[in-house]
Amino acid sequence: QSGADAVETVVEVVSEVGAEAAAAVRTHSTRLSRLFTPKRIRNLSIAALFAAAWEVYQDLRPGGHHGMVLLAAHDLVDTGTRASTRLARFLGSRWLKLAMALVALGFAVVELVEDFLPGAHHGVAVLAAANCVSGFAELVAAREDVV
C-alpha cells in the first residue's frame, strides 16, 4: 500500500468514526438536555451552594471551597435571572458574574499554591477559568454590539 493509499484509508476510517461519534453526541445531548432542565440545574446549584457553604463554615481558610460557593452562586444567578426585575438585571450583570468567576479563580489558586495534589480545588480552578473566559467573551460581544 502506497503512502497516498494509507492516508486515504485513514481519512475514510476517521470520517466513519467521526460521523458515528457526531450521531452519538447528538443522541446523548438530546437525552442530557431533557435530564438537565433549568429547574433541575437551579436545584443542583442550590444544593452545591449549601454543600460548599457548609465546608466554608467548617474551614474558613481561603481555598477552593470558597471558590465553589461563588461558582454555585454564579450558576444560580445564571439560571435564575430570566425575570426582568431590577434585582434580576443586577444579578445578571456581566460584570458581577465576571467578578464572581475571578474571585472564585483566586480562591482556587490560593489552594493550588498550598496543595498541588489532585483534588476538587483543581476542578474549581478549571470551572472558574472557563467562567472567566466566558465572561470576558460576553463583555467583548456586548461592547461590539454597542460600537
Q: Which amino acid is at 111?
A: E
The SS3 assignment for 60 reads coil
CA distance 44 to 41: 5
Whether the Cβ atoms of residue 64 and residue 125 lie closer than 8 Å to each other: yes
The vertex-48 CA angle with 46 and 49, nearest 5°, equals 60
**Which has more pLDDT, 33 or 123?**
123
Please state the rounded mean pLDDT for residues 50-67. Answer: 91
CA distance 127 to 107: 12
Containing 97, the helix (H) or strand (E) segment is helix 94-114
Q: Grid coordinates in use for 114?
A: 498550598
H helices, E strands: number in the chain? 6, 0
pLDDT band at 2 (very low <50, low <70, confident <90, very high): very low
Given a cut of 70, whether residue 138 has pLDDT beyond it is: yes
Range from 45-54, 81-90, 95-104, 108-117 carrying the lowest mean pLDDT: 81-90
**What is the share, in percent, of the chain residues with pLDDT greater than 90?**
19
